[in-house]
Amino acid sequence: MNFNKLSLLLVFLLCGLGVYAQPSTISNHNNNSQLITSLDSQRWKMKMMLPGEGVKHGLHKLPPGDIETLVWNPAKVPGDVYTDLWKAGAIEDPYFGRNSVKAQWVMQYEWWYSTQFKVNQDLTDKVARIDFESIDHEADIWLNGHKIGSHKGSFSSFSFDVTEAILTNKHWLKATNMLVIRLAPPPQVNANVAGLKTPWFGDYWRDLIPMGITGSIDLVFTGKSRILDVYAKPNVVNEKKASVIFEIEVENTEKVAKEKNITVSFKGKNFDSKGQSISFKQVLQPGKQVIKKEIEVNNPQLWWPWDLGKPNLYEAKVSLDEGKINQDFKEITYGLRRVDMEWNPGFTRDEVSFPRTTLINGKPIFIRSACWGGPPDIFVGRTSEEKYRKLIALAKEANMNNIRIFGWHPPEIPLFYKLCNEAGISVWQDIIPLGTGNIPNDPELLERIYQEGENVIKNRRNNPSIIMMEGGEEMLLRASDAQYANNFLKTLGKRYQGMVDLPYVPDSPLTCHVSIEAGYKKKEAVHALAYFYGMGRKPMEDWFKSLDYPIVPELAITSVPNVESLKKFIPENELWPPGPSWGHHWADLDRLRIQNFDTFGDEKKGSLQEFVDATQDAQGIIFQLSIEHFRRNKPRTSGIALCHFITYWPDMKWAMIDNYLQPKRSFDFVKTAYQPVLVNLNFEKRRWKNSETFKGEFWIVNDLYKAYKNCKVSYSVLDDDKKVLKKSSFEVKKIEENSSKQFIEFEAKVLKKVKKNFYVEVELTDSNGTVLSSNNYMFLIGDQKADAAKFDKMGEEIRNRNTEYSYGNYYRFFEKMTGENKKTLESKTDTIKTRGF
Q: Where are the domains of the chain?
A: 34-222, 225-334, 679-784
pLDDT for residue 88 is more than 80: yes
Measured distance CA(714)–CA(323) in Å, rounded: 72
812 burial (CB, 10 Å; 0-12 / 13-18 / 19+) is buried
- Give the model's confidence band at 480: pLDDT under 50 very low, under 70 low, under 90 confident, else very high: confident
- Quick: pLDDT tens for 166-217: 999 887 778 999 999 999 999 999 888 999 999 888 888 988 999 999 999 9
pLDDT digits (tens, 9 = 90+) for 378-414: 999 999 999 999 999 999 999 999 999 998 899 999 9
Residue 532 has pLDDT above 90, yes or no: yes
The CA–CA distances, whole Å, from 387 to 5, 250, 305, 507 equal: 37, 36, 22, 30
* SS3 state at 634: coil
pLDDT tens for 639-654 read 999 999 999 999 999 9
pLDDT tops 50 at residue 7: no
Helices (H), 602-754: 608-632, 666-673
Per-residue confidence (pLDDT) for residue 830, from 0 to 100? 55
Q: Indicate whether 264 pLDDT > 60.
A: yes
Check for a shared fold between 225-334 and 679-784.
yes
Q: What percent of the chain has pLDDT over 90?
A: 85
- Range in 267-271, 498-502, 508-512 the model is least confident about: 508-512
In this predicted structure, the answer to whether residue 822 has a pLDDT above a threshold of 90 is no
Mean pLDDT of the chain: 93
Topology at the third CATH level for domain 34-222 = Jelly Rolls (2.60.120)
Q: What is the pLDDT of residue 295?
A: 98
**CA 207 – CA 107 distance, rounded (Å):** 10
Q: Confidence class of residue 831 from pLDDT cuts 50, 70 and 90?
A: low
Kindly tell me if the per-residue pLDDT of 66 is higher than 80: yes
Q: How far is 785 from 536, CA to CA, in rounded Å?
A: 13
Q: Is the pLDDT confidence value at 19 over 80?
A: no
Listed in sequence order, the residues at least 6 apart from 827 whose beta carbon sits closer than 8 Å to its beta carbon are none
d(CA 223, CA 254): 10
DSSP string for 263-320:
EEEEEESSS----EEEEEEEEEPSEEEEEEEEEEPSS---B--TTTS-B--EEEEEEE
Closest CA to 425 of 376, 452, 465: 465
Map residue 567 onto helix, strand or coil.
Answer: helix
Q: Write the DSSP string, 385-433.
A: HHHHHHHHHHHHHTT-SEEEE-TTSPPPPHHHHHHHHHHT-EEEEESS-
Rounded distance, CA 416 to CA 393, Å? 11
Kindly tell me if the per-residue pLDDT of 271 is higher than 80. yes
| Closest C-alpha to 399, from 704, 15, 648, 170 | 704
Whether the pLDDT of residue 20 is over 70: the answer is: no
Q: Which residues pair with 111 in a beta bridge?
A: 48, 183
- Summarize pLDDT for 148-176 with one digit per residue, the tens: 999 999 999 999 999 999 999 887 778 99
Mean pLDDT calculated for residue range 732-751: 97
pLDDT value for 593: 96
- pLDDT greater than 80 at residue 6: no
CATH class of the domain defined by 225-334: mainly beta
Which one is predicted more confidently, 324 or 775? 775
pTM of the model: 0.95
536 has pLDDT over 60? yes
pLDDT surpasses 70 at 43: yes
CA distances to 251, 649, 685, 815 from 646, rounded to whole Å, are 41, 9, 30, 31
Looking at residue 18, what is its pLDDT? 36
pLDDT bucket at 377, cuts 50 / 70 / 90: very high
Total residue length of the chain: 837
Question: Which CATH number is 679-784's, of 3.30.110.30, 3.50.50.60, 1.10.1040.10, 2.60.40.10?
Answer: 2.60.40.10
In the chain, the amino acid numbered 746 is F
Least reliable range by pLDDT among 32-41, 101-110, 414-423, 553-562:
32-41
Model pLDDT, residue 21: 59
Residue 25 has pLDDT above 80, yes or no: no
Query: pLDDT tens-digit profile of 118-151?
Result: 998 888 889 999 999 999 999 999 999 999 999 9
pLDDT: which is higher, 3 or 799: 799
pLDDT at 640: 98
CA dist 473 and 203 (Å) reads: 14
Q: What is the pLDDT of residues 743-788, one digit of tens each?
A: 999 999 999 999 999 999 999 999 999 999 999 999 999 999 999 9
Rounded to whole angstroms, the Cα distance separating 424 from 400 reads 10
Average pLDDT estimate for 221-232:
96
pLDDT confidence tier of residue 27, bands split at 50, 70 and 90: low
What pLDDT was estimated at residue 200?
A: 87
**Is pLDDT above 50 for 15?**
no
Confidence of residue 423 (pLDDT cuts 50, 70, 90): very high
User: How far is residue 260 CA from its own chain's centroid?
Assistant: 41
The pLDDT of residue 11: 37
